[in-house]
Amino acid sequence: MGRPLRRRERQGEQQLQQPGLHAVRQPAGAAVPGDQGSPVPEGGRADPDPPEHLPRTSDGGFWHATSREHQLWLDGTYMVLPFLERYGATFDDATYANAEAAKQLVTYGSHLADPSGFFFHAYDESGTQTWADPATHHSSEFWCRSIGWYSMASVDVLDYTPRSDPNRAKIIKNVQNLAKAIRKYQDPATGRWFQVPEKPTLSGNWTETSCSAMFTYMVSKAVQKGYIDHSYQAVADKGYKGVLAKVSLGSDGLTNIADICIGTNVGDTAFYLARPRATNDPHGLGAFLIMNEQMRGTHH
């Protein structure tokens, strides 16, 4: 076993030490993974009510946040569902937690899945948001990191979903369809994926590091679990190399991870393309660590 994670304070920044990696800089007070509109406010705590009492859409989907009434965002699936599964396993509530998490993934997918295999960023049941399509009520564009959150949530929730659950096959099918899209739109030059993933040749589009880490994790784990064919491992391996190409060592001896989109709301194509790119944004640091542990495990 490697040595445990160790935190240290230096020059006003929080830094995370991991076996086999240089320290990664993280701004002090950085939020947990998630994008704008997180159900758990930074510095706050989760809703003390049981999940059964959280506000929902009419078909049972958890609202993204109380400030995002009637809305389902892909981002929220990773913020809530893997935690819910672990809660159920720890506190003897697995029957409820497993069924709820699987149901949530399928409910979100029913509103946001596209025949391409990708998923739209968000859905507004009320149809009142300016970004909501008048007919479908979902947003108009795919955003790579929101799809990344959903992809990681899917393969993690499947770890806990019993074969008897009727939603298990639906989740696996979504994973398989998404893997096809991920393979199709992987940038052959870099191995990464674009901010607006289905428009790689669009002027101003750029490869985004956090979603590239998330897609790499999802594909590798789906291969490992047998949800998709082993040929997809080449996609994960190329993605891993692409993400590592965005890692550099600073003059201070600490690791930097570049080209991470900052926290992002729902918008149109121009909005996503114009989002600032940061170095060491927490969304990318967390995704990198999750991906790296998966890839190290499959190669050793």
Phi, psi at 253, each rounded to 5°: 85, 5
Phi, psi at 26, each rounded to 5°: -135, 130
Marked catalytic residue, from 35, 75, 124, 165? 75
Has 92 been annotated as catalytic? no
Exposed/middle/buried for 37, CB within 10 Å: 0-12, 13-18, 19+? buried
Give the separation between CA 196 and CA 215, rounded to whole angstroms: 14
- State the CB neighbour count (10 A cutoff) for residue 2: 7
With CA atoms as reference, report the closest residue to 71 among 120, 123, 35, 34: 123
Q: Is the dihedral of CA 282, 266, 139, 192 positive or negative?
A: negative
Query: What residues act catalytically?
Result: 75
